[in-house]
Amino acid sequence: MTSPAPEADVSAAAYREAMAQLASAVHLVTTDGPGGRAGLTASSVCSVSDAPPTLLVCLNRASSAYPAFLRNGVLCINTLSAGHEGLAADFAGRVPPGERFTGEGWGQLETGAPVLSEALIAFDCRIVDRHAVGTHDVLICAVAALAEARGADRLLYANRRYHVLPR
Ligand SMILES: NC(=O)C1=CN([C@@H]2O[C@H](COP(=O)(O)OP(=O)(O)OC[C@H]3O[C@@H](n4cnc5c(N)ncnc54)[C@H](O)[C@@H]3O)[C@@H](O)[C@H]2O)C=CC1
Ligand SMILES: Cc1cc2nc3c(=O)[nH]c(=O)nc-3n(C[C@H](O)[C@H](O)[C@H](O)COP(=O)(O)O)c2cc1C
């Protein structure tokens, strides 16, 4: 477990203002298993290694979905394409947790985590490590399967709004 960070000399508000300038892909991070089905919108996804294929996602422990991710030990990173802004808003809290999977086609790959059939890319993963840092857990995930729907425009998030990056 990582020791608590020393008192930051940058305010959280100033940090958020700075971070809002960064453009990132947008994902629905989903899970299913003994802990139930859950999901949230996330932008804190990045590659760690390609040998073996490994990525990370940072999960707020206050999120309603957090207990399910820990209990299930698996997740899917569903990278969104243009036209999925509504889904991103739904999974970011616009829709209550228990009602987030009613629409859209959802399937599975290896782990049983929900896979959005129209996702630009789906990274089906097993959680192999976890580091608590401040309010979040950094989840280290081994990629067990991949699916991709080529050719769609990308959905980005920057300056607190969504943007489309043509393919
Ligand atoms: N990594 C995260 O946990 C993120 C959380 N959010 C949440 O989504 C909501 C909408 O955010 P915005 O409209 O973009 O404005 P905002 O001013 O709350 O956030 C601006 C930027 O700061 C960073 N950020 C915000 N809250 C954070 C947190 N609790 N932990 C780590 N980084 C954080 C993100 O990069 C975000 O794009 C807010 O409640 C925000 O907390 C948004 C993006 C990332
Ligand atoms: C564009 C965007 C990116 C987000 N990225 C993350 C993230 O990387 N990690 C995280 O824990 N929450 C992130 N959130 C916040 C969650 O989607 C959600 O708002 C929060 O978990 C509360 O949802 P709940 O109703 O499931 O508790 C993001 C929100 C938005 C709008």
Ligand 2 atom closest to residue 91's alpha carbon, by position in its atom list: 17
- SS3 at position 71: helix
Closest residue (by CA) to atom 44 of ligand 1? 43
Whole-model pTM?
Answer: 0.95
What pairing do the DSSP bridges indicate for beta strands 27-31 and 38-42?
antiparallel
- Which helix (H) or strand (E) covers residue 72, if one does? helix 66-72
Q: How confident is the model at residue 9 (pLDDT cuts 50, 70, 90)?
A: confident
pLDDT beyond 60 at 1:
no
pLDDT beyond 70 at 93:
yes
Please give the full DSSP string across 14-56, using - where no structure is assigned. HHHHHHTTS-EE-EEEEE-STT--EEEEE--EEEEEETTEEEE
Query: 97 CA distance to ligand 1 centroid (A)?
Result: 19
Ligand closest to 163 (CA) is 2
Q: How confident is the model at residue 109 (pLDDT cuts 50, 70, 90)?
A: very high
Which among 52, 104, 51 is positioned nearest to 78, based on CA atoms? 104
Ligand closest to 43 (CA) is 2
Q: Which domains does the chain have, with CATH numbers?
A: 44-155 (2.30.110.10)
The mean-pLDDT minimum among 1-5, 28-32, 87-91, 121-125 falls in 1-5
Q: What's the half-sphere exposure (Cβ side, CA atoms, 13 Å) at 131?
A: 10
